[in-house]
Amino acid sequence: MHFLRPAISSLLLVLFLSVSAQAQSAFTVGTATAAPGQKSTGYLEVPAGIDPASSIPVVVINGARPGKTLALVSGAHGTEYTSIIAIEKLIAAIDPAQLTGIVILVPLVNIQSFELKVPHVNPVDNKSMNRFYPGKADGTQTERASFLITKQIIDRCDYLIDYHGGDLDESLRPYAYWGPTGREEQDRLSKQMVLAFGLDHIIIWRERPTDPAATRYLDNTASVRGKASIVVEAGHAGIVDSDDLALLVNGSLSTMRAMKMLPGDPHPIENPVWIEKLEDVLSEGPGIWYPLVKRGTYVSAGMKLGTITDYFGKTIAEPRAPVTGIILHINAVPSLKKGDNIADIGVPAVHAP
């Protein structure tokens, strides 16, 4: 029987080698494959269906040491430029030699929106690219792209950050969303992420779809699948401002430090303004918008937010704040059509969560 022992130990050696090879193996997303210590670029190839194919750029940064996988996704709205440029900066800034774990970066989901300068939707199918998750393999381009992102990125990450900002027609002050799920450990992690990111206004987003087949939003799709995730927003109205950009870049690196993916200490926000309710102010008809308040203004319930005139200059509406709170975003351009979002007002929470 003694000759069985070498056989067992060589079997154990093979097992050991395959486990350590697994921990140190290459990681592939779409056509991007990165070995440990490497950075690789490629595309998520969305196949043609009832409308054209699309190639979504993706970067895999595989750390020198094995660890968790973080996904950073931007540009679902292709004219929210600051969030897109922030990911471009992070592609250059994250050094795989310093990294523990894997970072998947998607700088621009909605390429057609970016190239054609069309806000809010994918001009190919006129759908928002942050409303159709988890997507459909046989749907329109937005749904096929969402399906691929769910399978290739969300299902394979541990943490996710979705980046947005004020679109071409939105004057927005920076803020984050935190969506608690009731699962204690996941909520603790996502709260740690949102605090480490450092944005000073955080919306508590409680009422969200829980059906995994109809999760709607990117971060919610990750969240429902058990991955700690947050949304961050900075930038406004087509302007890439260096302060807004710094908030997103430094916030991302700070979150990665909090998750022990990068060396160094995070710089968490200590006492953010927690927002417990969001009130939309919608336009009742088409017209020309003349705002009276700016993003970040604290308004009282009943305060006039601006004036809407018809095309002859006659005042047709004077929208007022439905609640007391902070103008998180306000329409940045004169154009208004019926149903457009004129402003979002955040109501501060009485108690921090």
In the complex with Zn ion, the residue whose CB is nearer, 96 or 165, is: 165
In the complex with Zn ion, the residue whose CB is nearer, 62 or 82, is: 82
In the complex with Zn ion, the residue whose CB is nearer, 80 or 143, is: 80
Give the nearest distance from C-beta 195 to Zn ion in angstroms.
22
Give the nearest distance from C-beta 155 to Zn ion in angstroms.
22
- Regarding beta strands 159-164 and 228-233, do their DSSP bridges make them parallel or antiparallel, or are they unpaired? parallel
In the complex with Zn ion, the residue whose CB is nearer, 32 or 129, is: 129
In the complex with Zn ion, the residue whose CB is nearer, 77 or 329, is: 77
Determine the interface stretch with Zn ion among 40-48, 58-66, 156-164, 313-321 (rule: CB under 5 A).
156-164
Give the nearest distance from C-beta 81 to Zn ion in angstroms.
11
- Give residue for tokens 């799920």: 181
Give the nearest distance from C-beta 233 to Zn ion in angstroms.
7
Q: What is the pattern of x (binds Zn ion, CB under 5 A) and - over residues 167-206?
A: ----------------------------------------
Q: What is the pattern of x (binds Zn ion, CB under 5 A) and - over residues 257-286?
A: ------------------------------
Give the nearest distance from C-beta 76 to Zn ion in angstroms.
6
Do the beta carbons of residue 307 and residue 293 sit within 8 Å? no
The pair of three-digit structure tokens given for residue 306, joined into one six-digit string: 């601006």
* Distance (Å) of CA 307 to CA 167, 286, 290: 21, 12, 5
In the complex with Zn ion, the residue whose CB is nearer, 245 or 261, is: 245
In the complex with Zn ion, the residue whose CB is nearer, 39 or 77, is: 77
The pair of three-digit structure tokens given for residue 5, joined into one six-digit string: 């022992």
Determine the interface stretch with Zn ion among 145-153, 164-172, 245-253, 297-305 (rule: CB under 5 A).
164-172
Give the nearest distance from C-beta 164 to Zn ion in angstroms.
3
In the complex with Zn ion, the residue whose CB is nearer, 69 or 130, is: 130
Give the nearest distance from C-beta 208 to Zn ion in angstroms.
16
Alpha-carbon distance 10 to 227, whole Å? 38
Backbone angles phi, psi at 143, to 5 degrees: -70, -40
In the complex with Zn ion, the residue whose CB is nearer, 258 or 327, is: 327
End-to-end CA distance of the chain: 64
Give the nearest distance from C-beta 125 to Zn ion in angstroms.
17
In the complex with Zn ion, the residue whose CB is nearer, 129 or 305, is: 129
Give the CB-side neighbour count of residue 325, counting CA atoms within 13 A: 26
Alpha-carbon distance 217 to 336, whole Å? 26
Give the nearest distance from C-beta 40 to Zn ion in angstroms.
27
Alpha-carbon distance 54 to 145, whole Å? 8
- Residue 236 lies near Zn ion (rule: CB under 5 A): no
Check whether the bond before 36 is cis (ω within 30° of 0). no
Size of the site for Zn ion (CB under 5 A): 3
Return the residue nearest Zn ion (CB atom). 164
Looking at the DSSP bridge assignments, the partners of residue 345 are 279, 327
Considering only residues 62-121, where is the footprint of Zn ion by CB under 5 A? 77, 80
Q: What is the pattern of x (binds Zn ion, CB under 5 A) and - over residues 124-153?
A: ------------------------------
Which element (helix H / strand E) includes 278? strand 273-282
- Beta-carbon contacts of residue 126 (< 8 Å; ≥ 6 apart): none
* Distance (Å) of CA 317 to CA 5, 169, 217, 285, 336: 87, 20, 33, 9, 12
Buried b (16+ CB within 10 A) or exposed e, 166-197: bbbbbbbbbbbbbbbbeeeebbebbbbbbbbb
- Residue 164 lies near Zn ion (rule: CB under 5 A): yes
Give the nearest distance from C-beta 231 to Zn ion in angstroms.
9
CA dihedral 213, 216, 222, 228 (to 10 degrees): -130
For the chain, the farthest-separated pair of C-alpha atoms sits apart, in whole angstroms, at 100
Give the CB-side neighbour count of residue 234, counting CA atoms within 13 A: 27
Instruction: Write out the residues near Zn ion by the rule CB under 5 A.
Output: 77, 80, 164
